Amino acid sequence: MGPPGSGKGTVSARITKTFGLKHLSSGDILRANINAKTELGLLMKSCIDQGQLVPDDVMSRLILSDLRALDQSSWLLDGFPRTVSQADALDKAYSVDTVINLNVPFQTIKQRLTSRWTHLPSGRVYNVDFNPPKVPGLDDVTGEPLVQRDDDTPETVTRRLKAYETQTEPVLEYYRSKGVLQSFSGTETNKIWPHIEAFLHTHTVCVGKQ
């Protein structure tokens, strides 16, 4: 768990590689539906473009369907649950062993996201602060123009963070009360990661059906 732009994708990839878990990203599932222009995908795109969260029942249906397909594998969820309602839906189907929260300051995230530019055809992402293109505004490989995605503009980032604060912060309390929440604070993923890795090495990372 963590705000948009907190490094969930990067940390998830490292956890998956180090501990051999199956990784389900709500963002990947959303993008797949949006790219396929499914009915749900079009609805989701409208929500995301406005900086809003996708409806709970839609997200829960999508994620739980994908989890059932994994059968008995241990897994890592990234970007879900984002509301207490989604957490309840997950809790009814599975027992969650560990919840990792990336506690990154909002100011750091605003700087990080609004500095992000994308080459849409390939999905390559640049950051003008720490991973800039060789030629400003152009993709390194094709030389085609880069764009700032709708959800990376300053106005939308502010709305996304506000939505996170009001709807997702209660989920942290939900898991804190269950005794499974572990928070890691910092502004750089590379500095947060060693602490997460050490923590997980001391825990049996396993999720089983109730």
pLDDT tens-place string over residues 87-134: 999 999 999 999 999 999 999 998 888 888 999 898 888 988 878 999
Spatial distance between the Cα atoms of 86 and 168, rounded to a whole number of angstroms: 10
Q: How far is CA 126 from the centre of its chain?
A: 18
pLDDT value at 205 more than 50: no
Residue 8 catalytic?
yes
Please, which pLDDT band fits residue 191 given cuts at 50, 70 and 90? very high
Is 112 annotated as a binding-site member? no
Is 179 annotated as a binding-site member? no
Please, which pLDDT band fits residue 75 given cuts at 50, 70 and 90? very high
Residue 14 catalytic?
no
Mean pLDDT of the chain: 88
Calculate mean pLDDT across residues 61-83. Answer: 87
Q: Which of 58-62, 105-109, 145-149 comes out lowest in average pLDDT?
A: 58-62
Residue 61 catalytic?
no
In sign, the C-alpha dihedral spanning 4, 118, 77, 74 is negative
Is 5 annotated as a binding-site member? yes
Please, which pLDDT band fits residue 31 given cuts at 50, 70 and 90? confident
User: Any residues with CB less than 8 A from the CB of 43 and at least 6 apart, and which?
Assistant: 54, 55, 58
57-90 in b/e burial notation, b at 16+ Cβ within 10 A?
eebbebbbebbeeeeeeebbbbbbbbbbbbbebb
Residue 112 catalytic?
no
Is 116 annotated as a binding-site member? yes
pLDDT of residue 204: 56
- Cα distances from 75 to residues 15, 29, 56, in angstroms, run 10, 15, 21
Which member of 8, 14, 17, 134 is catalytic?
Answer: 8
Long-range contacts of 130-139 (CB under 8 A, 24+ apart): none
Which member of 22, 149, 159, 176 is catalytic?
Answer: 149
Which CATH fold topology does 8-205 show? Rossmann fold (3.40.50)
Residue 82 catalytic?
yes
Q: What are phi and psi of 25, to 5 degrees?
A: -105, 125
pLDDT of residue 113: 84
Is 9 annotated as a binding-site member? yes
Which member of 160, 176, 191, 209 is catalytic?
Answer: 160
Structure tokens at 59: 């997200």
